[in-house]
């Protein structure tokens, strides 16, 4: 009888220990799941990140549009310089330049220089040779500054690389549901916007160096719409990066700046 009693007590103890172990394991698993859920972003934060990413994508699109077109600057002779029915103008960007021959009759009578480039006429476009053979381009007897043009192009490519890296970080953050990659994405987008603006400044210096290389032919110059696209892109990229910085903070800046009002008052 006593042997049966002790055997029953041992069996009950094992069941109790097993039950406690199973309940403890389930509790630990539930606690781990709750902790993992708290580390994941909520729907509100995900929507804000998508909105900021949309702003940054607009900046990336404008940057690609500005970099891929050759309307950064327009150089125009006087429309009566050659003394015939045609005049010449040039426009170029980071990679290639074009010489256009326009009809004087199509130009606005109030305009003294040849242009704009949107008028119909013959066009001859070539890629710059200082990317391959190292030769400078000559436009209206004026020579480009190879080092400045190369610097502007390299900065533009670096900015495009940073945009790609920032976009990859945001895509990974949204796909994994964790806000960890938002902070490096903000750094990439802010740096890319700064590089775009620096590329525009250096390109403008290259234009001034081109104009000062020869003064035998008077040429009117003006920055064109590709620079406007690139400048707007740089501003939007910096703005999108700042939005990502705010979203990556562990606290809400609005709650820190604006005091809470007591619900009882």
Q: How confident is the model over 157-169, as pLDDT tens digits?
A: 999 999 999 999 9
Q: Are 128 and 97 in contact (CB under 8 A)?
A: yes
Closest CA to 89 of 129, 139, 143: 139
Q: Distance (Å, rounded) from C-alpha 155 to C-alpha 200?
A: 9
Domain boundaries, the chain: 43-249
Within 10 angstroms of residue 228's Cβ, the number of other Cβ atoms is: 15
Q: Which residues contact 53 (CB under 8 A, 6 or more apart)?
A: 167, 170, 174, 240
Domain at 43-249, CATH class? mainly alpha
Structure tokens at 223: 């920055």
Residue 209 CB burial class (10 angstroms; 0-12, 13-18, ≥19): middle
Q: Distance (Å, rounded) from C-alpha 72 to C-alpha 75?
A: 10
Q: Measuring CA to CA, how many Å separate 164 from each of 61, 70, 148, 177, 185?
A: 12, 23, 25, 20, 10
Which of 26-35, 63-72, 171-180, 251-260 is modeled with the greatest confidence?
63-72
Rounded to 5, what percent of the chain is helix, strand, coil?
A: 60, 15, 25
Q: Which helix (H) or strand (E) holds 19?
A: helix 2-39
Q: Measuring CA to CA, how many Å separate 244 from each of 13, 63, 180, 203?
A: 56, 19, 11, 29
Give percent of the chain above pLDDT 70. 78
Q: If you average pLDDT over residues 60-83, what whole number do you get?
A: 90
Mean pLDDT of the chain: 82
Answer yes or no: is pLDDT of 35 > 70. Answer: no
Q: If you average pLDDT over residues 119-135, what whole number do you get?
A: 87
Q: Distance (Å, rounded) from C-alpha 238 to C-alpha 1?
A: 84
Cis-peptide into 32, omega within 30 deg = no
Q: What is the pTM of this model?
A: 0.78
Residue 36: which pLDDT band, with cuts at 50, 70 and 90?
very low
Q: If you average pLDDT over residues 235-261, what whole number do you get?
A: 76
Q: If you average pLDDT over residues 33-60, what whole number do you get?
A: 77
């Amino acid at each position: 009888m006593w042997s049966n009693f002790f055997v029953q007590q041992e069996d009950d103890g094992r069941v109790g220990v097993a039950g406690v172990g199973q309940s403890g394991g389930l509790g630990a698993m539930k606690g781990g799941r709750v902790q993992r859920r708290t580390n994941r972003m909520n729907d509100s934060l995900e929507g804000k990140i998508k909105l900021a990413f949309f702003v940054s994508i607009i900046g990336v699109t404008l940057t690609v549009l500005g970099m891929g077109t050759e309307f950064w600057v327009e150089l125009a002779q006087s429309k009566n310089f050659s003394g015939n029915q045609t005049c010449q103008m040039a426009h170029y960007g980071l990679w290639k330049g074009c010489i256009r021959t326009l009809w004087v009759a199509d130009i606005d009578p109030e305009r003294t220089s040849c242009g704009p480039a949107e008028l119909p006429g013959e066009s001859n476009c070539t890629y710059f040779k200082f990317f391959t053979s190292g030769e400078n381009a000559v436009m209206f007897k004026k020579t480009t500054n190879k080092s400045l043009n190369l610097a502007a192009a390299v900065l533009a490519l670096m900015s495009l690389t940073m945009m790609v890296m920032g976009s990859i970080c945001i895509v990974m953050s949204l796909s994994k549901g964790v806000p960890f990659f938002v902070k490096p994405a903000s750094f990439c987008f802010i740096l890319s916007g700064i590089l775009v603006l620096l590329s525009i400044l250096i390109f403008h210096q290259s234009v001034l160096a081109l104009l000062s290389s020869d003064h035998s032919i008077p040429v009117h110059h003006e920055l064109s719409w590709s620079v406007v696209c690139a400048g707007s892109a740089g501003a939007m990229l910096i703005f999108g990066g700042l939005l990502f910085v705010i979203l990556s903070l562990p606290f809400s800046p609005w709650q820190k700046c604006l005091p809470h009002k007591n619900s009882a008052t």
